[in-house]
Amino acid sequence: MQKSHPIFAISVARLREFIRRPEAVFWVYFFPVLMVVILGIAFRNKPVESFDVDVIQGPLAESVVENLKSDPRIKPKVVSEEESIDRLRTSKTNLMIAARGSTLNTIEYRYDPVRPGSLAARNLVDRRLQEAKGRQDVIISNDVEFNEPGNSYVDFLVPGLLAMGLMGGGLWGVGFAIVDMRIRKLLKRFMSTPMRRSHFLIAMMISRLVFMIPQIVILLVFSYVLFGVKVHGNWLSILLVVILGAIEFAVIGLLVASRAKTLETASGLMNLVMLPMWTLSGIFFSYERFPEIFQPFIKLLPLTPVIDALRSLMMDGKSITTLAPELLVISFWCVVPFIVALAIFRWND
């Protein structure tokens, strides 16, 4: 009977081990979907954005409230100054208003300009009060809401979560598994066989690629059914980026696990690798919010080009030929860590 190639045998063994662990199946396949559902509901499109506004108690407070009630976006409430300061400090209100004079000619606004909604509330309230005093705008403006399909926060979020799943699956699914094998003395047994180190490492990456396929399908199907997220780019181009991303993080997982002897060490190293990418690479918000001096460094992180490429393909429908810089960075992280991992990998240090 002809023996199976080591790469094939290890890949099949990893697949069987994976499907026998329900907790692993949940974290790989269903956790990203759960994230999409929770964040999609939290940041779903709302027809009208409303602002909580505190009007400080005084002779003119009721007059201010009457002038603001005509706008459904403003929710005025008369409170004491002490209570309003406390509400403003705890983000329970967007804006505090105080009529300091004997008439409505002097209004004081208190708000945090960096807090979401505060500046918009201030401008809206000021406009309504100015109009109540008879101000007429010279320029006639027309507000048109931009609500085109494919431009919601969920559309922005799904490529980031897809890339995050590739990162977590590669590092934990490959790196953690290798360290676990080392602890259970399985690597020592593999060392006694004719199998090469390259065969073992390649098999670990192949098994991860197989795990990846259902993960992508489930995430995209649920995103489309629940929130109408559509893919505007070429599917083959998206598949290429996903495969490269899966290889990239599987290789980094190999490198992290090359010498780690305990699960605690492996866990610490993986969190050390993932934490900068979790916070900087733009999974949940654009990394362009960070100062420009950090932008070149952020773009060189392994996760950033994967997210940028997926968003360009899925949201903008761009061609793969326009993503040469991103593909170059991804290719670097596919090749260099594998060479280093192959050189320093130990079966049972």
- The reported pLDDT for the residue numbered 112 is 83
Q: Which residue has the higher pLDDT, 27 or 73?
A: 73
Enumerate the β-bridge partners of residue 79: 56
The segment with the largest mean pLDDT, out of 12-21, 119-128, 135-144, 172-181, is 119-128
Burial bucket for residue 150 (CB in 10 Å: 0-12, 13-18, 19+)? middle
Asked whether 271 and 171 are in contact (CB, 8 A), the reply is no
Mean pLDDT of the chain: 79
- The reported pLDDT for the residue numbered 1 is 41
> 47-98: per-residue pLDDT in tens?
556 888 999 888 888 888 888 888 888 889 898 988 988 888 887 888 888 8
Instruction: Read off the pLDDT of each residue in 239-264 and give the average, rounded to a whole number.
Output: 85
SS (H, E, C) the chain: CCCCCHHHHHHHHHHHHHHCCHHHHHHHHHHHHHHHHHHHHHCCCCCCCCEEEEEECCCCHHHHHHHHCCCCCEEEEEECHHHHHHHHHCCCCCEEEEECCCCCCCEEEECCCCCCCHHHHHHHHHHHHHHHCCCCCCCCCCCCCCCCCCCCHHHHHHHHHHHHHHHHHHHHHHHHHHHHHHHCCHHHHHHCCCCCHHHHHHHHHHHHHHHHHHHHHHHHHHHHHHHCCCCCCCHHHHHHHHHHHHHHHHHHHHHHHCCCCCHHHHHHHHHHHHHHHHHHCCCCCCHHHCCHHHHHHHHCCCHHHHHHHHHHHHCCCCCHHHHHHHHHHHHHHHHHHHHHHHHHCCCCC
> 216-243: per-residue pLDDT in tens?
777 788 887 877 778 888 889 988 998 8
Q: Which residue has the higher pLDDT, 302 or 70?
A: 302
Domains of the chain: 6-42+151-344 (no CATH), 51-132 (3.40.190.10)
Q: Percent of the chain beyond pLDDT 70?
A: 79
Q: Which residue has the higher pLDDT, 17 or 150?
A: 17
Has residue 129 got a pLDDT over 60? Answer: yes
pTM above 0.85, yes or no: no
Instruction: Read off the pLDDT of each residue in 29-50 and give the average, rounded to a whole number.
Output: 67
Has residue 144 got a pLDDT over 60? Answer: no
- The reported pLDDT for the residue numbered 93 is 87
Contacts of 255 (CB under 8 A, 6+ apart): 337, 338, 340, 341
